[in-house]
Amino acid sequence: MGFPPIGIMSLSSVVKQAGHECVMFDQANPDTPNDVIIDQINREQPDLVGLSFLSTTSYPYAKILARQIRATNLKVKLAFGGVFASLNAPLVKMQCPEVDYICRGDGEQLLLDLLANFDSPEAVASLTWMKDGKVVHNPNRPMERHLDQWPFPDRESLKLDFIESMPLDVPAVLSMERFTTMQTSRGCPWPCVFCDIPIFNEGKWRARTPAHVVAELKYLEEHGYGSIYFVDDHFLLQPKRIEAICNGVMDEKLTIQWGIEGRVDSVAQHLFPAMAKAHCRTVMFGIESGSQKILDRLKKEQTLAEVTTAVKNAKKAGIEIVHGFFTVGNPDETVEDMKATFDFAAKLPLDTFGFNRLCVYRGTPLWQEYVKRGLVQESTDWYKYFKCSEIDPTCLPGETINRVRQKGLQKLFMYKLFCYPIQTMRLLRRFLRFMPLRDVVFLITKPFMGQKKGATKSEVLSRAVEHADMKDAAAQMTQMTDEMLHDVLEASRAERDRIQREAEGSRELPMFSAR
């Protein structure tokens, strides 16, 4: 996945602006394995080493690296940050005693406060740490809404030449232009059962001002960037803000291209033509299913008619690539529901699409449901994630899902080729412009090739990350007693329930006045 680590880049610019020195590593870079990182830590003896990771998937690797750092360096302070660490802070602190601090939520001001208060961590809001053998969970800091105060991410201090420029599942990056990511807003208030974003952001949506966004786009274009992907959870939320960004891009005569993600029920669809004129090239929609029953089960709060309207509006407005995210292996999904999803996707004027198996993570409403149903155990499974089809008897078996998905893709490809020939040929020309012919041929023919014996190299690497044995092995490195685990679990559950209540209470937000 060719996405720069914008989280640590943002933090780097903040601490540098405050007068500190900062060195970054991206563990996706094959030139900086753990031993290289540890060697530099031991040479430079920094005041703090922060490890940022997004989800359960990368938690084992962060845990292993932290243990390796501590084994060679007893003095350096270690901190974890990111969504998973934030939502499971007391549990992570107990399972990883070698880590001094768990930083919860937004990291900018928190990190500055921590650097100024090593001797008095009790003064740092949203910090979880340990004192006298007990976990201390400092009060939450108010959620920061003034995002313009922070400097642009530090993109120039981390070598990114290793990054694949054209990951196949991210069509926004199908370009040889210099590429990076931006974040113009944070959060999404909708309650999709598989998503932990509303919990992490306490049900709030916060945005930078249009002027600040346009200023960063101008800065990036001046520094040679030609393609930007906005990693906002939901860009299409405030029409007036979107219109102001588009006007700013055109007023500044910028040519930089950009892509976004958003919901199909957005009230900003009348601005798709303005977005296209302002060089928005890609719009990605979370469609999930072609069955209304499954959309309701996932609490998407959208209809099939809204999906159709949004995709057609985007294409009619001149958006070059409209992408659809779909999930399969959903709870209560039947073979007929899956077939309906592929039939629905075929009839939409989508350029690209992806069909992924639904997984469940701690911190999501679906996880809470599975705990109540006895399908997962908080005490033993909190640091894991599962494909729903592996644990939920209402899901189709994995073999059935793969078989129906393969047949569905075959039918979808053929339908697109014969019913949308101009759109298909245009997309293939784009692929051939930026990708080797053999990769394009493989992309098209893979659904028709059947199952090969053995795994590809990428599949082996993927399974190494996902396999439960790997996660169990990492967890076994630092075990805690049942008594300690019970207390921390109760505290963690109470904190999560409080955030959930506050999120549900703030669903009616003033941002909708822009309608």
CA dist 152 and 221 (Å) reads: 13
Q: What band does 1 get if pLDDT is binned at 50, 70 and 90?
A: very low
Q: What is the mean pLDDT of residues 58-80?
A: 94
Q: pLDDT band at residue 370, thresholds of 50, 70 and 90?
A: very high
Mean pLDDT of 370-393: 94
Q: What count of Cα atoms within 13 Å lies in the side-chain half-sphere of residue 384?
A: 22
Which strand (E) or helix (H) includes residue 442? helix 437-445
Residue 427 binned pLDDT confidence (cut-offs 50, 70, 90): confident
Residue 167 has pLDDT above 50, yes or no: no
Q: Alpha helix (H) ranges present in 318-393?
A: 335-347, 365-373, 378-381, 388-391
Sign, Cα dihedral of 212, 203, 90, 113:
positive
Q: Is the pLDDT of residue 344 over 80?
A: yes
Residue 407, pLDDT score: 94
249-296 pLDDT per residue, tens = 999 999 999 999 999 999 999 999 999 999 999 999 999 999 999 999
Q: Which residue matches tokens 């892509």? A: 259
| CATH 3.40.50.280 given to domain 1-145+450-480 | yes
Rounded to two decimals, what is the model's pTM? Answer: 0.85
Mean pLDDT of 314-319: 96
Q: 174-196: b or e for each residue (b if 16 or more CB lie within 10 Å)?
A: bbeebbbbbbbbbbbbbbbbbbb
- Cα(289)–Cα(306) distance, rounded to whole angstroms? 12
For residue 491, the model assigns a pLDDT of: 64
Q: How confident is the model at residue 357 (pLDDT cuts 50, 70, 90)?
A: very high
Higher pLDDT, 487 or 148: 148
> Per residue in 392-423, is it b (16+ CB within 10 Å) or e — as a string?
beebbeeeebbebbbebbebbbebbeeebeeb
Q: Tell me, what's the pLDDT at 478?
A: 46
Contact 150, 106 (CB under 8 A): no
Q: What pLDDT is attached to residue 512?
A: 29
- Asked if residue 206 has pLDDT above 80, the reply is yes
C-alpha to C-alpha distances, 51 to 272, 328, 406, nearest whole angstrom: 38, 32, 38
pLDDT classification of 492: cutoffs 50, 70, 90: low
**C-alpha Rg value of the chain to the nearest Å:** 23
Q: State the helix-helix crossing angle for 457-466 and 468-476, rounded to 10 degrees.
A: 50
Domain covering 164-449, topology: pyruvate-formate lyase- activating enzyme (3.80.30)
- pLDDT for the residue 507: 44
Percent of the chain whose predicted confidence (pLDDT) is above 70: 84
Helix, strand, coil shares, percent, the chain, to 5 = 50, 15, 35
3 state DSSP class of 131:
strand
Alpha-carbon distance of 163 to 3, in angstroms, equals 8
Which burial class, exposed, middle or buried, applies to 142 when counting CB atoms under 10 A from its CB (0-12, 13-18, 19+)? exposed
Domain ranges of the chain: 1-145+450-480, 164-449
What would the pLDDT profile of 434-452 be if each residue is shown by its tens digit?
Answer: 777 887 888 778 778 765 5
Element of type H or E holding 288:
strand 280-288
Sheet containing 321-328: order of strands:
178-182, 225-230, 257-262, 280-288, 321-328, 352-357
Least confident of 24-38, 90-104, 240-254, 329-343: 24-38
Instruction: Return the pLDDT at 7.
Output: 93
Across 317-326, 347-356, 456-465, least confident range: 456-465
As given in the structure block, the two tokens for residue 461 are 């690497």
Distance spanning both ends of the chain, measured CA to CA: 36
Q: pLDDT at position 164, please?
A: 47
What integer pLDDT is reported at residue 483 of this predicted model? 54
CB of 103 closer than 8 Å to CB of 126:
yes
**Whole-number percent of the chain with pLDDT over 90:** 66
Contacts of residue 218, defined as CB under 8 A and 6 or more positions apart, other chains included, come to 252, 254
